[in-house]
Amino acid sequence: MPAERLSDSDAPPESAAAGIMPGRVAAVVVAGGRGTRAAASAGDAPKQYRTIGGRAVIAETIARLLRHPAIVRVQPVIHADDDAAFEAMVAPHLRLGRPVHGGATRQDSVRFGLEALAGDPPDFVLVHDAVRPFVSVAVIDRVLAALATSDGAIAALPVTDTVKRADGARNITETIPRERLWTAQTPQGFRYPALLAAHRKVAEAGRTDLTDDAAVAEWAGLTVTLVEGDAANVKLTTAADLTRADARLTAAALADLPDVRVGQGYDVHAFGPGTAVILGGISIPHDGGLDGHSDADVGLHALTDAILGAIADGDIGAHFPPSDPQWKGVDSAVFLAAAVERVRARGGGVAHLDLTFVCEAPKIGPHREAMRARIAAICGLPVDRVAVKATTSERLGFTGRREGIAALATATVRLPLDRPEGA
Ligand code: MG
């Protein structure tokens, strides 16, 4: 798979359609679903708000569309329960109109999105799934180019597997010739007035079961043509899809950062009174607490120093002095996130974190995965780029005597080569 750079600041990619589109193009991004199949656990955010490559799936998808030079406007359609998620994870990062709320079916949601464009109607509209962040300029170009001669055009892939129909007991009843079969992707593009009219007409007729816009257009008698889609333009459906997409985007973003730095961090906190310790961003019940000005999370403190070390930017005490009352009792995630942000501000990225605790107790192993997940979330990293380990000091020294906990960390950070003076 070719490397891809996905920052908003990229130069607009070459587009064949940009120069020839005889009109304005808007995109309706459909994000009204609840996506329960991708939830790793109940209570997880809907998949369009899960992060891949450090930002929400829907933000990645919209950014891709906005990078296409012919697309002048994106209209998101979101679930009414997702206002806060959209406001926090998408709105601050992209220049967008207000999202509209979706309906009970995908068909309703698209119609509401189309109606929201009616005040300033575009000539053409692309309808695109929020959970297809790998849409390419080439696919968009092919859809737009086909609209010169057709009411509608959709990205699709020819079926290459043999297709079977089965009965309820999974016994094959038919082998279906695949020669003229295609699977539909998005974007699906249309002349805007024609698609809006088709959606209104089908809604008036009481049909609500059409699962894509081509079906709405077909129902209304419009001509819809197929253009070649892209196997990489996958719909992120399962938790495994999200994990793969996250790893792919993160690796792609790091590939353009050749200046590899390694930093180390070390921290110690002494045990004191309490019933729990905060380690690696999570609270662990214990027969004592850890003394400290903040929440005394030695793990996150060591990681923060490792990242600051990698970019030669002082240490945790310089940025967050213990003498400053605003850091009293604070969640140390604040320090770690700020260190990551200092890397991002220099155009870089954190590639890997490795954290080791030295203590006799509590046992770290049972909490390792929770710590990795929390650290990954704080840093906007895939979990497979975060390691958490533990060892004892064989009852020697202050950790061996259970007087405190030590933590060591290394951070691998990648920066661009074109550093300004003084770096
Ligand atoms: Mg500390």
- pLDDT, tens digit, 9 for 90 and up, residues 31-63: 987 655 555 555 567 899 998 988 899 999 999
CA of 350 to the centre of ligand 1 (A): 21
Write out pLDDT tens, residues 361-412.
999 999 999 999 999 999 999 999 999 999 999 999 999 999 999 999 999 9
**Per-residue tokens: 195:** 């698609």
Structure tokens at 28: 């309706």
The overall pTM is greater than 0.85: no
CA of 364 to the centre of ligand 1 (A): 18
Q: How many whole angstroms from 315 Cα to the centroid of ligand 1?
A: 11
Mean pLDDT of 190-200: 97
Q: What is the 3-state secondary structure (H, E, C) of 276-343?
A: EEEECCEEEECCCEECCCCCCCHHHHHHHHHHHHHCCCCCHHHHCCCCCHHHCCCCCHHHHHHHHHHH
* Average pLDDT, integer, range 142-152: 95
Alpha-carbon torsion, ordered 118, 119, 120, 126, to 10 deg:
-20
How far apart are the CA of 137 and the centre of ligand 1, in A?
Answer: 47
Interval between CA 302 and ligand 1 midpoint (Å): 7
Residues 6+ apart with CB under 8 A from 279: 297, 298, 299, 357, 362, 364, 367, 371, 405
Judged on CB neighbours under 10 Å (0-12, 13-18, 19+), 338 is middle
Residues ≥6 apart with Cβ < 8 Å to 417: 258, 259
Find the 410 Cα to ligand 1 centroid distance in Å: 15
User: What CA–CA distance (Å, rounded) separates 324 from 322?
Assistant: 5
- How far apart, in whole angstroms, are the C-alpha atoms of residue 57 and residue 59? 5
The alpha carbon of 349 and the centre of ligand 1 are apart by a number of angstroms equal to: 24
Helix (H, G, I), strand (E, B) or coil at 208: coil
What are the C-alpha distances in Å from 292 to residues 190, 268, 282, 289, 305? 61, 10, 16, 10, 16
CA of residue 310 to ligand 1 center, whole Å: 18
Distance 106 CA to ligand 1 centre (A): 50
Q: Give distance in angstroms: CA of 292 to centre of ligand 1.
A: 7
Alpha carbons 371 and 363: distance in angstroms, whole number:
13
Question: What tens digit of pLDDT does each residue of 287-309 get?
Answer: 999 999 899 999 999 999 999 99
